[in-house]
Chain A
Amino acid sequence: MAIIELLLRRTARLLLTVLLITTIVFVTVRVIPGDPALTIAGMEATEQQVSAIRARLGTDQPLGVQYVSWLRASLRFDFGTSYFSNERVIDLILQRFPLTAMLALLSFALALTLAIPIGVVAAVKRWTLWDGLGLLFAQVGMAIPGFWLAIMLLLLFSVQLGWLPLFGADTPLHWVLPVIALATERAAVLVRFVRSSMTEELDKEYVLAAEAKGFPVWRVVLRHALRNALLPVITVAGIQFGYLLGGAVIIEQVFSLPGLGRLFLSAIHGRDFPLIQGGVVFIAVVFSVINFLADVLYAVINPRIRVG
């Protein structure tokens, strides 16, 4: 029951959020300079051509009229067609989403695989060399911008050593560098989180009691403390996954990967309004769904919430 109620509450909130964001984006992209008709017509176009294109796109209509018709169509899940390619926005997004989702998912998996052991070790071996190394990783990882790391990895492994391919997404090898570049910063953030959460857990009485009884430290950590410590991490991880989708935009650019990032970037450059709008809705929905799943997961693992 609790989950259904959560689902309903979240759906309502999602709808409100999407409405709010799309309205803001709708106004913003039309208020800033730039006219898609001019971009399509190019530098040598005449007035008449430009206004003909504007009429075809519907951008000559008053802002309010455009907004209402967009809203009406999108309620029927019709997000229009791209101004430039004339393809359906929904098709364009769904073509690109698998790659970006895969990139984010793999990076997320790598980030967790790195962050949990490092964070746990750092917490257990607090104020030792191990802890120091873990914190150093976190500090450096957060300080290095993802795109810079991406370029450095590309220069070292693809250019200098020639071990990995330069561009594209045809083989598993193509994924190695983008995933590392994207995962590092997230892993760094999560290490600090896991460490502090674990530290808190280790200071609790049951751990101290267990240790006093002579249980080996690692058994206490793995059997009891870890699960409790990871609870708050799940919520944070959900938000971090959202960051991954954002970071993927830049990483796709560096590694020439045909994902959502490059699609939306060129949409913004060209003021492809329907594609920008559709993209915003899509990202908002994905983000909300992921956070919802994180909450469900949290509820499943934490019996206290399930009961209440």
Chain B
Amino acid sequence: MRRLPFSILAALIAASIYAGGAPEAARPQGDTLRFALSGNPDTLDPQATQGTLTFQVLRSVYDTLVEPDHDGRIVPALAESWQVSTDNLSWTFQLRRGVSFHNGDRLTAADVAATFARLLDPGLGSPHAKEFASLREIRTPDEYTVVFELDHPYSPLLSSLATGWSAILPRSLIAAQHDFAAHPVGTGPFRFEQWIRDNRIALLRNPDYWIPAVPIVERVHFNIITEVAVQVQGVLTGDLHIIDMVGPTDIARIERDPRTRLDTGLSSLVMVLAINTRRDPLSDLRLRRAINHAVDKQSILDVAYAGGKVIGTFMDYGDPYYVDLADLYPYNPQRARRLVAEAGAAMRTLDLVLPQNYEPHVRAGEMYQQMLAEVGFDVRIRLVDWSTWLADVYAGGNFDLTVIGHTGKLDPDGRLSMFESDNNYVGWTDPHAAEMIRAARRVAGFEERRALYRDVLQLLAEQVPFVFVGSNYRYIAMRENVEGFHMDAKLDTYDLRRVRLR
């Protein structure tokens, strides 16, 4: 009894050492690509989420009928070819033969039909169902032909089919109510092996992939690492091969180190200062223009977003529908002050809401506050977490100004459909713009659609429901021995099929 405290202590220590001392394989060796994923995906069910993280993983597990190539053009994938009827109402896809799922099933038209039936099942409540609202039925005239019959013409369909949530699932597992959220099974270049929540997702090479000699690496480990600093250190030490979180202060270090290199490109994000046009005094166009002239866009991009390009429109620079409106509202504080005086509105303190978990937006918000103060606006910052931002700001419209980045879309309709009515967070619409947005959905020709969207974009820029600041540079750091890595810029996903470790 006398030594009880010590024996308990000793037992505790012994127990902990015993339980802790069961090491698995230490650092994975050999042909394993170690990729840093910046968070734990909510789910691995491609139809059940909007989360980018999910699609960054599933891009390697699933295939889609069509996919974007390196220039963003839509090219064949599981479908070898397709035709559109002259009335734009029926889309016929010829499936590739000899493709099999990871469970051994052979890919046929029935799988495609079952996949979209699942996506449209109200019981699933897929956030992507609306993209297929025009779909009347899916016909499968033979084993390798799928026909999408539409109620009304819908040009964005092809782009929808190229995005991650249109991944093709095996019919047999859909029928068996398989748990796709935890165990994805597709036709993709890698088979799902294991998901240790908040730690890593492991994929194994699919030797029967439909592109010969692809993929190349044996395994992919998505290591889930939320801290930027740890990701950066990981690539510098070689614990990681590719990371996609690089802070502005780390750029020089990664460039200087001979073992790492930086892949830089303009992102497809459009960074905005969004203005609630429903509320006084910002319902006055003159004041919105004043705000636009008050903002030094290049400084915002350089300081808050680690560099970028001023674009002045709601379409990213690399998009075929891009219109150059960068000079519409040049930085001009004097003009801004004149516009404020002209409006003569009763000013009040403006509520600038910032999503605190996105540091660059917070930095940008602080700069906006100063720039606006210089031309006579009194702005107070309110920091909120992401859930609050979505509910209170985005859905609730409880803000005057907010800072956010709008992600890229394969089809312009994805960005612009929100302006069909004023039921969007900035409360802006325009009858003419709404008509053109609807028209562009029905016509198929690129030039025709571009003319329509050009007018919409012009109106949107002139009316200033947003200050379109520009797109930031995206930095991906990788070890110098990584070859063949490609990012699908518009989708924010990664094509790892041709990655090789030298």
A residues lining the B interface (CB < 8 Å): 32-36, 38-50, 52-53, 56, 84-87, 92, 95-96, 98, 102, 105-106, 108-109, 112-113, 116, 151, 154, 158-159, 162, 165-172, 175, 223, 226-227, 230, 234, 253-254, 256-259, 262-263, 266, 269-271, 297, 300-301
Contact (Cβ within 8 A) A34 B182 = no
Contact (Cβ within 8 A) B388 A109 = no
Contact (Cβ within 8 A) B234 A43 = no
Contact (Cβ within 8 A) B26 A42 = no
Smallest Cβ-Cβ distance to A254: which chain B residue = B227
B82 CB-CB contact with A under 8 Å: no
Chain A residue numbers with a CB within 8 Å of B396 are: 33
Q: Which of B182, B224, B394 contacts A43 (CB 8 A)?
A: B394
Known: A33-B392, A253-B227, A263-B197. A166 touches B42 (CB 8 A): no
Chain B nearest Cβ from A151, distance in angstroms: 7
Chain A nearest Cβ from B221, distance in angstroms: 10
Chain B residue numbers with a CB within 8 Å of A269 are: 357, 385-387
Contact (Cβ within 8 A) B43 A170 = no
Stretch in contact with the other chain, from B15-23, B111-119, B259-267: B15-23
Smallest Cβ-Cβ distance to B123: which chain A residue = A56
User: Please, could you name 14 A-B residue pairs with CB atoms under 8 Å apart, sorted by A?
Assistant: A38-B387, A38-B395, A39-B387, A84-B43, A86-B45, A86-B48, A95-B197, A158-B237, A159-B237, A170-B23, A170-B27, A171-B23, A256-B225, A300-B4
A258 to B394, CA, bound (A): 31
Known: A43-B394, A52-B125. A168 touches B199 (CB 8 A): yes
Contact (Cβ within 8 A) A35 B197 = no
B24 CB-CB contact with A under 8 Å: yes
Contact (Cβ within 8 A) A262 B387 = no
A165 to B239, CA, bound (A): 8
Chain A nearest Cβ from B419, distance in angstroms: 12
Chain B residue numbers with a CB within 8 Å of A258 are: 196-199, 224
Smallest Cβ-Cβ distance to B392: which chain A residue = A33
A39 to B16, CA, bound (A): 39
Contact-residue bracket for chain B? 35 or more
A32 to B385, CA, bound (A): 11
Chain A nearest Cβ from B470, distance in angstroms: 19
Chain B residue numbers with a CB within 8 Å of A175 are: 20
B318 CB-CB contact with A under 8 Å: no
Chain B residue numbers with a CB within 8 Å of A169 are: 199
Stretch in contact with the other chain, from B5-13, B63-71, B202-210, B428-436: B5-13
Contact (Cβ within 8 A) A166 B233 = yes
Contact (Cβ within 8 A) A56 B125 = yes
Smallest Cβ-Cβ distance to B49: which chain A residue = A40
Contact (Cβ within 8 A) B12 A108 = yes
A167 to B226, CA, bound (A): 11
- 7 nearest interchain CB pairs? A42-B50, A34-B387, A258-B198, A258-B199, A84-B42, A33-B388, A33-B392
A257 to B197, CA, bound (A): 10
Contact (Cβ within 8 A) A105 B16 = yes
B451 CB-CB contact with A under 8 Å: no
Smallest Cβ-Cβ distance to A85: which chain B residue = B43
Q: Which of A35, A166, A171 contacts B239 (CB 8 A)?
A: A166
Contact (Cβ within 8 A) B125 A49 = yes
B247 CB-CB contact with A under 8 Å: no
Question: A52-B122, A106-B20 are known contacts; what are 10 more A-B pairs with Cβ within 8 Å?
Answer: A46-B130, A47-B423, A85-B182, A105-B12, A167-B230, A167-B234, A170-B23, A172-B20, A257-B199, A297-B8
Chain A nearest Cβ from B101, distance in angstroms: 22
A108 to B8, CA, bound (A): 12
Chain B residue numbers with a CB within 8 Å of A35 are: 387, 390-391, 395
Smallest Cβ-Cβ distance to B2: which chain A residue = A227
A52 to B125, CA, bound (A): 6
Smallest Cβ-Cβ distance to B15: which chain A residue = A105
A102 to B130, CA, bound (A): 46
Known: A105-B16, A170-B26. A85 touches B181 (CB 8 A): yes
Contact (Cβ within 8 A) A171 B227 = no
Contact (Cβ within 8 A) A45 B127 = yes
Chain A nearest Cβ from B434, distance in angstroms: 16
B159 CB-CB contact with A under 8 Å: no
Chain B nearest Cβ from A46, distance in angstroms: 6
B418 CB-CB contact with A under 8 Å: yes
Contact (Cβ within 8 A) A38 B390 = yes
